[in-house]
Amino acid sequence: MSDRSSGTADTMRDRANESSLKIWLLLVANRLLVTTFLAGAVFAVFVLIGSIDPAVAVLLGERSVIETIFGTMISALILGVTLVVAINQLIISQENGPLGDQHERMSDAMTVRGFVSELTERPLPAEPAEFSRDLIVATESRVETVRRTIDATNEPELESEVDDFLDSVLENTEHVKRKLDGAEFGRFGVVSALLDYNYSWKIVQTEQLRNDYGDVLNDDQLAALDDLQQAFVLFGPVREHIKTLYFQWQLINLSRLILYTAVPGIVMATVTLAFVDSTTVTGQTMMIENLVWVIGAAFTLSLVPFLLLTVYILRIATVAKRTLAIDPLILRNV
């Protein structure tokens, strides 16, 4: 019954069965840092190619080549700004609506909050990290209740299996609580911690315990097991709600960053298109034609909005893939 024996790990990194570097680049690393790294790599490759053969520098100096590169970039940047507007309209449309719809949203949110408050037996904090932590702590309390009731069965096999299961739950909750400590919403830390709580498999395990030992357990023991399962079940919508808010937060940040970088990109592409060629940029720096440096820098700066879009969407898509199922379905590589 344990996570280890079943081959279903608790943490996202272990479940993914992928390299630590790939997980770090896709999810953990600061998006601006990854964007800067990619931009530097693009610039370095551009300059390297331009320095290998002098004929490349000559080719870059031709007006037709410059017009093709930067004319296309200007069109793409304008299209990118249009995409940003569409993203913002989509986000805003989800937030706007008639009074009745807003009241229904509020009522649904308060209903779930009431369920969680009953579980934790205390007023809930407003911060998503602390909210999630309180739910985890309440789960730990129910784990101990199950342990106390099961220990009275005088069934060694049952007690051993339940102890293994409960120990794995507590190990997982301690790990998640450590990651939630000091985590701030808007950063990936909160969502990362929630992804490391494998509640779906824990629901399956409680169902298996009921099925395997239902004829041995008394009403109090079954009730304690049901209460623990309910704590796992509540974690699903809580995680999905926080994840949705995080997605919206990140898309808004992405939109702002694209707009901030698109304007300089368009200006740089336009200036390069209008004034740069082999007659206006001459000479060499570090034995590389200055024209290669200038066009490489202009091209890289124009590419930054698309690099931002790439790194942000990669994280969002990866998280979405790993949380496709809110119910107890264990998907491959999730």
Cβ contacts of residue 306 below 8 Å, gap of 6+?
76, 80
3-class DSSP state for residue 236? helix
Q: Is 64 exposed, middle or buried (0-12, 13-18, 19+ CB in 10 A)?
A: exposed
pLDDT at 302: 94
> Global pTM?
0.87
pLDDT at 2: 41
pLDDT tens track for 185-221: 988 999 999 999 999 899 999 999 988 888 888 889 8
Q: Which amino acid is at 151?
A: D
How far apart (Å, rounded) are the C-alpha atoms in residues 192 and 239?
11
How many residues are recorded in the chain?
334
Domains and CATH numbers, the chain: 3-15+98-250 (1.20.140)
The segments of the chain whose pLDDT lies below 70 read: 1-8, 16, 94, 332-334
pLDDT at 8: 66
